[in-house]
């Protein structure tokens, strides 16, 4: 709660006026320490990620966990670009966490359900419905920082709560889509010699909007992709269809494929633009 409160304060300041990215990372790192050290929620092991045995982090557990929490905070913040997008993606992830927690009796069940219900209530005012074509409320940095922080908590704590059933790679897949989008965006910026820490219109939702997709179609497509990632993680955690190593390499493949698809977004989406375009909105708009 202390870390979440700190992030909420940072987000409110950031919503009123943009803060330097170094200040944001510093405060996010401090908030992560509240979770990792204060609440003892950390990544102690990566599991059999590469196929050569269990990877125990040892002394690297704390810095790696802080890095992971800060990364998830910013991953959710970066996808908050269209009405209903960050909320819809977060709802899928939180619902997946809650489903798994219910099936395993994890103590994360109630926090995940409460937060999922809160996000659902928020979406009733943030999503574009036929009778209301503009959101009534917005998440802002205060909301996205908080959501990213809580999702990081759940994703890290799940393997610790049910280590016999869920591995770290399963948890990564559950929250895999925002991670994939963030990593591919950072790689694309690095190739273009652009800053990875400044806001830019080069995320997947921006590219889909530039390609002519409506806001509703873009949000629906990205929420479905989030559900696909979560389904792989949840399904394999419950049924163990694929070993951990195969899932980790498959995640790398998904990163490469996703990056290539975004590079070819214009020709690939040309056949569908007529059906998914919105004549009323011709330029990308941030929510």
Exposure string for 141-171, b = 16+ CB within 10 A, e = fewer: bbbbbbbbbbbbbbbbbbbbbbeebbbbbbb
Tell me the helices (H) and strands (E) count for the chain, helix number first: 13, 2
Which pLDDT value is given to residue 202? 66
Which pLDDT value is given to residue 269? 66
Distances from the Cα of 281 to the Cαs of 29, 215, 286, in angstroms? 38, 8, 12
Which pLDDT value is given to residue 259? 86
Region label for 54, one of left (φ > 0), alpha (ψ between -120 and 50) or beta (otherwise): beta
- Residues in the chain with pLDDT values less than 70: 194-202, 266-287
Which pLDDT value is given to residue 287? 41
pTM of full prediction above 0.85: yes
Taking only the tens place, the pLDDT of each residue in 196-230 is 666 666 678 888 887 778 888 889 999 999 999 99
Specify which residues 132 forms β-bridges with. Answer: 129
Taking only the tens place, the pLDDT of each residue in 103-129 is 888 889 999 999 999 999 999 999 888
Which pLDDT value is given to residue 280? 44
């Amino acid at each position: 709660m202390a870390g979440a409160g700190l992030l909420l304060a940072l987000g409110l300041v950031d919503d009123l006026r943009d803060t330097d990215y170094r200040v944001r990372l510093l405060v996010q790192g401090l908030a992560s320490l509240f979770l990792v050290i204060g609440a003892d929620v950390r990544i102690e092991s990566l599991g059999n990620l590469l196929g050569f045995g269990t990877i125990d982090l040892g002394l690297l557990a704390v810095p790696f966990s802080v890095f992971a929490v800060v990364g998830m905070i910013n991953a959710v913040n970066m996808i908050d670009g269209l009405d209903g997008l960050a909320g819809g993606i977060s709802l899928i992830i939180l619902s997946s966490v809650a489903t798994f927690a219910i099936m395993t009796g994890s103590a994360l069940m109630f926090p995940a359900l409460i937060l999922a219900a809160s996000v659902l209530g928020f979406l009733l005012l943030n999503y574009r419905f036929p009778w209301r074509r503009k959101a009534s409320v917005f998440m802002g940095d205060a909301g996205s920082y908080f959501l990213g922080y809580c999702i990081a908590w759940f994703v890290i704590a799940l393997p610790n709560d049910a280590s016999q059933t869920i591995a770290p790679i399963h948890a990564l897949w559950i929250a895999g889509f925002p991670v994939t989008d963030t990593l591919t965006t950072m790689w694309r910026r690095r190739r273009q010699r652009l800053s990875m820490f400044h806001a830019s219109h080069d995320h997947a939702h921006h590219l889909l909007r530039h390609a002519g997709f409506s806001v509703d179609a873009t949000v629906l497509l990205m929420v479905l992709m989030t559900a696909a990632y979560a389904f792989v993680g949840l399904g394999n955690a419950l049924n163990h269809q694929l070993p951990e190593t195969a899932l980790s390499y498959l995640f790398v493949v998904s990163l490469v494929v996703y990056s290539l698809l975004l590079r070819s977004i214009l020709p690939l989406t040309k056949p569908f633009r007529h059906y998914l375009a919105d004549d009323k909105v011709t330029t990308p708009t941030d929510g």
